Amino acid sequence: MPSNRFDQAKPFLTLAIVVIVWLVLPVGVKSFMRASFFELQAPISVSVSHIRDLQEYWALRTQSKHDLIEAGRDLARVNASYELAVQENSTLRAELDRMQNLLRIPPQPTHRFEHARVVQRDFSAWWQHLIIRKGRNYGITVGAPVVFSGGVVGRISKVHAYTSEVELISSPGVRLAAVVEGDDRPMSFQGGLNPTFGPAKGVIEFVPLDIFASPTSTKRLVTSGLGGVFPAGLTLGRVIKLEPSTDGLFKTGEVELDLRLGELTEVTVLVPVSTN
């Protein structure tokens, strides 16, 4: 009888020993073990991502010629509009460089664009993190901005050998300097406490009292460029609600984020380029 009791308690004793050993391990050893475990499982996630891309490719191969012709026409129209935007951007960039030289303004930090596929999202923290398919092998750095066609996605929080973790702007851990479009007064944007799979929202603070917004009259919120991390003018979301703060000196409000943040398949990392 005692032997049977011991056999039944053996799993719990083993678990208790493992927990005790983990608690007494040095912090450096714990960090190394976490990083090693992530690097071991990363190839599996990356392989699944490649297989998913291959499935999408063969799914497209089954489309009819008529559908492909229509898609090609739509793509040609989009490319034409992008070519015009590139020409306008080049003209504006040349004018900006000329004005900076005349006024002797220090040049803004430059970035190179590194496009990356999204490997997976953390379902337990849907609006906080995602993993992309590039890491130190492509020169990705911690803190680099991550963007997409709709504006800011977030910033790189961790970099591994072949993958990187992105902290989304919907995460409460992200705080950025922002401005309302058409106004140059800086405010503070922070991610909100968002439910899984629900619409993502953020919080705006230190808003001047003469700025108004409502669900029927929203304001576009963009990055201010302060801090030198995120370029100015990138979309963060739309301010849908403002009310006076407790001190009565400013307003606080609610920011509606882009719904496409929940279904991203590809993003762009702005990797800082040294000018030295």
Q: Which stretch of DSSP H or E encloses residue 74?
A: helix 65-103
Distance between first and last Cα of the chain: 76
Q: What confidence tens digit (pLDDT) does each residue in 172-214 have? A: 999 999 999 989 899 999 998 888 777 889 999 999 999 999 9
Contact of 178 with 189, CB cutoff 8 Å: yes
The whole-model pTM stands at 0.72
Q: Can you read off the two tokens belonging to residue 21?
A: 């050993």
The string of DSSP codes covering 107-143 is PPPEEEEEEEEEEEE-GGGTTTEEEES--GGGT--TT
Considering only CA atoms, give the Rg of the chain.
24
What letter does residue 265 receive in the DSSP assignment? S
Dihedral sign for Cα 149, 153, 155, 160, please: negative
Of 157, 217, 211, nearest in space to 182 by CA: 211
Is residue 147's pLDDT more than 70? Answer: yes
Highest mean pLDDT among 27-31, 44-48, 81-85, 150-154: 150-154
Q: What confidence tens digit (pLDDT) does each residue in 13-41 have? A: 666 676 676 566 566 555 555 555 555 55
Q: What confidence tens digit (pLDDT) does each residue in 51-86 have? A: 777 777 777 677 777 777 887 888 888 888 777 777
Q: What confidence tens digit (pLDDT) does each residue in 210-237 have? A: 999 999 999 999 999 887 788 888 999 9
Average confidence score pLDDT of the chain: 81
Return all residues near 175 (Cβ < 8 A) that are at least 6 apart: 188, 189, 190, 191
